[in-house]
């Protein structure tokens, strides 16, 4: 059984998705259906592929490094600004 749904999406997002679907020779409906089929059951833990896990780890590490760098730079700035004598 199939159910028809109506989505309210940004026009640019729909155009981007449509271009992607055409470039991959699939209908937008099939692309969305495939995406939704890959969602885990709500009662099951989310299992990420090894590629996705490494991507998340890299992004997390990059964010932490950037945050630490910003903190260090701000500390240096404050030390220089409030340097005594």
- pLDDT, position 37: 84
30: helix, strand or coil: helix
Predicted structure pTM score = 0.48
What percentage of the chain carries pLDDT values higher than 70?
A: 75
Q: What is the pLDDT confidence band of residue 23, given thresholds at 50, 70 and 90?
A: very high
Q: Say if residue 17's pLDDT is above 60.
A: yes
Q: Each residue of 60-74: pLDDT tens digit?
A: 665 555 666 667 777
Buried b (16+ CB within 10 A) or exposed e, 23-42: eeeeeeeebeeeeeeeeeee
């Amino acid at each position: 059984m199939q159910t028809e749904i109506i989505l309210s999406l940004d026009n640019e997002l729909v155009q981007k998705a449509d271009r992607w679907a055409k470039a991959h020779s699939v209908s937008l409906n099939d692309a969305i259906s495939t995406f939704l089929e890959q969602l885990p059951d709500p009662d099951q833990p989310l299992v990420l592929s090894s590629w996705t896990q490494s991507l998340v780890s890299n992004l997390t590490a990059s964010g932490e490094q950037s945050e630490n760098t910003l903190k260090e730079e701000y500390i240096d700035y404050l030390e220089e600004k409030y340097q005594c004598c």
